[in-house]
Amino acid sequence: VMVAARALLFWALVYSYCGVCACIAGLRLLWSIGRRPGETFRWVVRENPPACLNDPSLGTHCYVRIKDSGLRFHYVAAGERGKPLMLLLHGFPEFWYSWRHQLREFKSEYRVVALDLRGYGETDAPPHKENYKLDCLIADIKDILESLGYNKCVLIGHDWGGMIAWLVAICYPEMVTKLIVVNFPHPSVFTEYILRHPSQLIKSGYYFFFQMPWFPEFMFTLNDFKVLKSLFTSQATGIGRKGCRLTAEDIEAYLYVFSQPGALTGPINHYRTIFSCLPLQHHEVIMPTLLLWGERDAFMEVEMAEITRIYVKNHFRLTILSEASHWLQQDQPDIVNKLIWTFLKEETKRKRE
């Protein structure tokens, strides 16, 4: 009875908060229609990709079809085949391009692969939300590794890609030599912290809003994807550092990918199954782990970063960058790249000793 009561309470919280978020979104929609009715429903589908998406210095566009799921994945690869693999998993609402600075940086010593996750960009997007359960997303990474001809990698994830990276490291520890996560805590820390801290619950409101069918996608398209643009450029949530703000062409790259018909459903479906996968088990990570965190993250409270230490049963390094936003690897690429190099070399040295 207690279990049933707790489950009922949990789902009541999820759907009531989902309702609150929907009401706020509805009010924003009405306000926008009242102010600029013509602009509100303007949505331009970009026909041609901006040149930056085909920049040869970033690597080669490749495709691989996974045997088990039958899905075709798109990725951009830089560095020679046969070098150790560095696999990069992006967050939401992003795609392989968010790793452009890392593709250029690490190709000297690694085969660097920046993936479009299931449902994103040029990777196949199965239609049903059940196809986006965490088990499927974890299996994708294992299958891709094998399809690329590797049995282990340095795994790097940011935001939602960080969540997947943690879970891959927990489920397939033999496949991850080193784990690097950017602005996402250990999943157990996240799920426990969010229930105890209303401030984090509010910041994670989009997890609840995304439980609704079609409406979240619709809200993203308003005013020609104003929400998407402001996520990266606004004072509150955007990239703060002057020298690294997204260029007009960078923003156009994001708009090109997400303005295609149906392009937002796959990415949002990642969140539509999350509550049915909870609670996550308490699993420890056994490989050396680097956690990088932008302190000005508008979506994740920095306190979660320190608590993550408990779950890593190996060398754990945490670096918090005070002036950095949620989009850390784009916001402070030079510092992030330097910290990653230090961590990779340091671990190699330690093994030799």
Determine, yes or no, domain membership for 290.
yes
Quick one: pLDDT at residue 141?
98
pTM for the full predicted model? 0.95
Flag residues of the chain having pLDDT under 70. 241-243, 279, 347-353
| 78 touches 58 (CB < 8 A) | yes
Looking up residue 150, the CATH number of its domain turns out to be 3.40.50.1820
Quick one: pLDDT at residue 63?
98
| 197 touches 300 (CB < 8 A) | no
If residue 316 lies in a helix (H) or strand (E), which one and from where to where? strand 316-321
If residue 179 lies in a helix (H) or strand (E), which one and from where to where? strand 176-182
Backbone angles phi, psi at 58, to 5 degrees: -85, -15
**β-pair type (72-78, 60-65):** antiparallel
* Residue among 116, 124, 159, 297 flagged as catalytic: 159
Tokens for 323?
């002036």
**CB under 8 Å to 114, separation ≥6 — which residues?**
59, 75, 76, 77, 88, 90, 96, 97, 99, 102, 103
Catalytic site residue 271?
Answer: yes
| 184 touches 158 (CB < 8 A) | yes
Quick one: pLDDT at residue 166?
97
Determine, yes or no, domain membership for 226.
no
Determine, yes or no, domain membership for 215.
no
* Residue among 271, 297, 311, 331 flagged as catalytic: 271
Tens digits of per-residue pLDDT, 292-316? 999 999 999 999 999 999 999 999 9
Catalytic site residue 75?
Answer: no
DSSP notation for 52-108: GGG-GGG-EEEEEE-TTT--EEEEEEES-TTSPEEEEE--TT--GGGGHHHHHHHTT
> What is the C-alpha separation between 188 and 279, in angstroms, rounded?
8
Determine, yes or no, domain membership for 201.
no
Direct distance between the N- and C-terminal alpha carbons of the chain, in angstroms, rounded to an integer: 55
Residue entry with tokens 């040029």: 122
Residue entry with tokens 């992006």: 90
What is the 3-state secondary structure of 180-208? EEECCCCHHHHHHHHHHCHHHHHHCHHHH
Amino acid occupying residue 327: W
**β-pair type (176-182, 153-158):** parallel
If one counts the domains in the chain, the total is 1
* Residue among 97, 124, 326, 331 flagged as catalytic: 326
Structural domain for 92, as ranges: 46-190+235-345
Quick one: pLDDT at residue 353?
45
